[in-house]
Amino acid sequence: MFSYFFTNTQLADRLSSFIEAEHQLLQYAKTRFANSHPLHDEKNHHFQLFDTPIDIPRCIKDDAMFCQVHDTDTEECNKYSLHGVKVINKQLESTTTTDKPAPLVLLHGYANGSLYFYRNLMGLSSHFSSVYALDMLGWGRSSRPKFELLTSSTTSDESSNNEDSSTIDSITKQQVTTAESFFVESLESWRKHHNLPKLTLAGHSMGGYLSVAYAEKYPQHVEKLILLSPVGVPEKTP
Amino acid sequence: MNRINTLPFYVRYMIKTARFLFDKGITPGAFLRSLPSSRSKALVDGYVLNRLPAITCEDERKHLSEYLYQNSMLPGSGECCLNEILTSGAFAKIPLLYRIPHLKQANGKEMEVHMIYGQNDWMSYRGGLDTQLLCHQKRMDWEEEQQINGSKSSSPPPRVSVYGVKNASHLLMLDNYEEFNAALIIAAGGGEKTNNQSQHVPVEFACDELLTDESGSLSRSSSSRKVAGESEAAAFFRGGFRRFRKDEDDDAAEEKKMEE
């Protein structure tokens, strides 16, 4: 009961030092780690932190809907927000070539954040006209709702045809699908808001696993799938 | 299960406790939050120091570990997905090995899947090559089916390419960012630009069945770049824990395992 008062000030402290660290890393991303690309010019790269309002994924229980941390001023009651870094290469954006790669979306791994890619943002944006590194829902500066999901949800309408579906019981499968849809739905809502028809989806570790889940559900929006050391590929050996 | 019984009792109990906590839904973040703040900060600092020797700048390391620390000290949300998706040995409940071959784009085109691993990665490269092989086999079946049916009835299974990044662990984007960037750009189809600078080029791997098969499964990527086989992959990838194991002088334990 007393801890309520303490935790709120603690939270604010933590949040401010988190934001401080994030800005420092962003500063490193801007100034260091430029690659020796011949067409490279740092002035063309535009870095921006952004928050995107997204719909609440359907799989979250009603009583767990409120966010545990609010840090955005424009706080809408029925929207979550996804935080991220956007890098735009103005030079590439202005050129109108036909084989322009789809915008790159980077998903971080377990217990990381979008700025974990701070060493790569500059180098990658020499090829991609826009690079988005996202904090996934429940990590970093995105909304953090409680992870309480409807297990008996109707969201698992897609019937993924796994070869070994007979060996995995349907309850486990539903549980996994629901947990994945927490992230997949938020990413899809984010994509809709930015109006991107195609993504080059790159996910590291847990993000790689979730990007496969996304590509399974929304294959029409994925141009290429790049898995960076993904978790959960091999089968468990007995 | 047999392997766990050969370990010393304290290691055994540590592993069993970790598994118990995992099954109860206690995440690493929740564990950190339960510690006094000085301890947890020291833990994260130590982790960053040990796992990321590539970061030599003192300030940079400080800010990165602060970023990681505060990220996990804020109330947990997304991190609770851990035991919903994975089992306690970092295996998926529904492995990707069986999910990737079913990926297809909506308009009848194939999906391109690229997998990038670090040289000292604790995620095994075998997962990537096995997926590649499975997709290749499915593709052969699909082509046969197409010949019988005549017209196109379904979209083909995805093409999988596997790359290795030198001098990098699981956190490959921080360990060797230049080669990682090159690998990602090659995977995204911009290989021609990076080819000119020869110093940071990742190695592409393929399983032996694909290399011997001349029918053109590899024709897309191997036009300009060399593709290494399985034996070279086995020599290239070192696995994640070898470095630490050598430090602890655990060679005797390894010998024992070999004898069994």
Instruction: Give 10-residue mean pLDDT values along chain B (260 residues).
Output: 72 83 81 85 89 87 91 85 82 87 80 90 88 89 83 77 89 88 86 61 84 58 68 81 46 47
CATH architecture assigned to A3-228: 3-Layer(aba) Sandwich (3.40)
User: Is the pLDDT reported for residue A237 higher than 80?
Assistant: no
Please answer yes or no on whether B113 and A124 come within 8 Å at the CB atom.
Answer: no
The whole-number average pLDDT for the span A18-37 is 82
Q: How many CB pairs under 8 A join A and B?
A: 246
Find which of A69, A229, A231, A235 to mutate to test the B interface (most B CBs within 10 Å of its CB).
Answer: A229
According to the model, what pLDDT value does residue B228 have?
84
In Å, how far is A120's CA from the nearest CA of chain B?
6
Task: Return phi, psi of residue B158, to 5°.
Answer: -70, 155
pLDDT, position A214: 93
CA angle, A55 then A61 then A65, to 5°: 55
Q: What is the chain A residue with the closest CA to B191?
A: A127
Task: Identify all chain A residues contacting B92, using CB atoms and an 8 Å cutoff.
Answer: 209, 231-233
Nearest CA in chain B to A99: B189
What value does the mean pLDDT take over residues A142-154? 74
Residue A38: closest C-alpha in chain B: B193
Nearest to A76 by CA among A196, A193, A228, A159: A193
Q: Across the interface, which of B82, B177, B185 has its CB nearest the CB of A110?
A: B82
Q: Which bin fits B70, alpha (ψ -120 to 50), beta or left (φ > 0)?
A: alpha
Q: What is the mean pLDDT of residues A184-192?
A: 93
A222-228 and A199-204 as β-strands: parallel, antiparallel, unpaired? parallel
- Residue A1 pLDDT > 50: no
> How far, CA to CA in Å, does A204 sit from each of A59, A158, B84, B217, B249?
24, 25, 19, 26, 31
Instruction: Please report, for chain A, the start and end positions of each structural domain, with discontinuous segments joined by +.
Output: 3-228
Q: Which two three-digit tokens encode residue A162? A: 């796994």
Nearest CA in chain B to A68: B75
- What φ, ψ does residue B112 adopt, rounded to 5°? -100, 125
Residue A80 Cα, gap to closest chain B Cα (Å):
13
Q: In chain A, what residues touch B124 (CB-CB under 8 Å)?
A: 234
Yes or no, beta carbons of B79 and A111 under 8 Å apart: yes
pLDDT of residue B246: 44
Kindly indicate the confidence band of residue A160, based on its pLDDT and cuts at 50, 70 and 90: very low
Distance of CA B145 to the CA centre of its chain: 33
Chain A hits for B100, CB-CB cut-off 8 Å, are: 212
- d(CA A123, nearest CA chain B) in Å: 6
What does the block give as tokens for B118? 């670090």
Compare all CA atoms of chain A with the CA of B112 and give the residue at the minimum distance.
Answer: A224
CA dihedral B90, B91, B94, B98 (to 10 degrees): 130
Which of A111, A117, A200 shows the shortest C-beta gap to B71? A111
Q: What is the pLDDT of residue A201?
A: 93
pLDDT digits (tens, 9 = 90+) for A38-89: 556 667 788 989 888 888 888 888 777 777 766 554 455 678 888 999 999 8
> What are the residues facing B53 on neighbouring strands?
none
Contacts of B112 in chain A (CB under 8 A): 224-225
CA-CA distance, A138 to B81, in Å (whole number)?
Answer: 10
State whether B111 and A222 contact (CB < 8 Å). Answer: yes
> In the structure, how many helices (H) and strands (E) does chain B have?
14, 4
Q: Please report how the helices B37-51 and B58-73 are oriented relative to each other, as an axis angle in degrees rounded to 10.
A: 130
Nearest CB to B94; choose among A144, A173, A225: A173
Range of weakest confidence among A153-162, A194-203, B56-65, B90-99: A153-162
Length of chain B: 260
- For residue A160, count CB atoms less than 10 angstroms from its CB and return exposed for 0-12, middle for 13-18, buried for 19 or more: middle
Q: What is the mean pLDDT of residues A193-218?
A: 91
Q: Which residues in chain A are contacts of B97 at CB distance < 8 A?
A: 233-235
- At residue B249, the pLDDT reads 43
Instruction: Classify residue A66 as left (phi > 0), alpha (psi -120 to 50) or beta.
Output: beta
Cβ within 8 Å, pair A235-B184: no
For residue B102, list chain A residues with Cβ-Cβ distance below 8 A.
160-162, 216
How many C-alpha atoms does A192 have within 13 Å on its Cβ side? 10
Instruction: Pull the structure tokens for residue A85.
Output: 């870094």
Within a 10 A sphere around the Cβ of A119, how many other Cβ atoms? 26
Of B76, B95, B197, the CB nearest to A235: B95
Instruction: Give residue A155's pLDDT band: very low, low, confident or very high (50, 70, 90).
Output: very low
| Residues in Cβ contact with B99 at an 8 Å cutoff, skipping those fewer than 6 apart | A160, A162, A212, A216
CA angle B165, A136, B99 (to 5 degrees): 60
* Chain A residues whose beta carbon lies within 8 Å of the beta carbon of residue B74: 11, 14-15, 18, 68-69, 144
Average pLDDT of the segment spanning A106-123: 89
DSSP codes joined into one string, chain A = -THHHHHHHHHHHHHHHHHHHHHHHHHHHHHS-----TT--GGGEEEEEEEEEEEPPTTB-GGG-SBS----SS--TTEEEEEEEEEEEHHHHH---TTPPPPEEEE--TT--GGGGTTTHHHHTTT-SEEEEEPPTTSTTS--B---B-TT-S-TTS----TTTTTS-HHHHHHHHHHHHHHHHHHHHHHHHHT-S-EEEEEETHHHHHHHHHHHH-GGGEEEEEEES-SS-SPPP-
What is the model's pLDDT at position B1?
53
- Predicted TM-score (pTM) of the model is 0.84
Chain A residues whose beta carbon lies within 8 Å of the beta carbon of residue B4:
none
